[in-house]
Amino acid sequence: MVDRRQVLVGAAGAASLLAADAAGQTSPAPTPPPPESPFAVTYIEVDPAQADAARRLLAGYRDSLKGTGALDIGVFERNGRTGHFVLVEQWPSAKAREENAGSGPARELRSGLAPLLIAPSDERLHHALSVAAKAAGPAALYVVTHVDFIPPKRDEGTAEVRKLTEASRGTAGNVRFDALVQTSRPNHLTLVEAWTDGAAQAAHSAAGPTRSFRTAVGPMSGSLYDERLYMPLK
């Protein structure tokens, strides 16, 4: 004869186990949206024979944005590589950057550069890791460096970049030292530096904090440390 009390107790226990198992299998919290990306760093390569035409287009684009709300528009030409340029833009918000991308000056720049290019323009959107106001005074040399960490070392590598940035900012001859994170690939970072002259930049490269940084990040790197020197476009 079946004991009804035992059946009921057993059913209640099974229900409790099922409820606990369901609670343990609840969906994970949704992934938060990526940070807003008001910075854009665009690498541009044109036929060296067309470098003058590219200079005019890039300078015209930069000058057309004065008074439009852009926080900073920098156009630089790579030392020793005619036809290699980088465009570094900072906007108040991602929305402002996106609106500018659809503006007349931006469309004119893209259409004007198109027949001059030897490779597609490489635009990388960023958010700030450590950014500060520029120091007073002109800069004769800019450095843009791409740093890439293997994913398991992203946090550790990012901490090293922040430490270098904040130790370097304001040192002798430094005008700007900012660290940006690529929004689509957070293990990819960009350093943007400005120096009064090449001697100041060379001294920084040989200084103890920079050497310690390079030693620390070497084993974490996912690709070569890509440091490029530029002159500001006049």
pLDDT tens, per residue, the chain with 234 residues: 445 445 344 444 444 544 445 444 566 666 666 688 999 999 999 999 999 999 999 999 999 999 889 999 999 999 999 999 999 999 999 999 999 999 999 999 999 999 999 999 999 999 999 999 988 889 999 999 999 999 999 999 999 999 999 999 999 999 999 999 999 999 999 999 999 999 999 999 999 999 999 999 999 999 999 999 999 998
What residue type is assigned to position 19 of the chain? Answer: A
Spell out where the chain has E strands.
39-45, 72-78, 84-90, 122-130, 141-148, 174-182, 188-195, 226-232
Q: What DSSP element (H or E) covers 4?
A: helix 4-24
47 Cα distance to chain centroid:
26
Cα separation, 140 vs 81, in Å, equals: 17
Name residue, tokens 């300078």: 59
Q: Which CATH code for domain 39-232? A: 3.30.70.100
Helix count and strand count (H, E) for the chain = 7, 8
Domain boundaries of the chain, sorted by first residue = 39-232
What does the chain come to in residues? 234
For 161, list phi and psi in degrees, rounded to 5: -65, -45
**Can you tell me whether residue 78 is helix, strand or coil?**
strand
Angle formed by the axes of helices 94-101 and 104-113, nearest 10°: 60
Whether the CB-CB separation of 218 and 161 falls below 8 Å is answered with: no
Cα dist from 202 to 9, 196, 197, whole Å: 79, 11, 9
| The one-letter amino acid at 72 | D
pTM of structure: 0.85
Beta carbons of 117 and 77 less than 8 angstroms apart: no
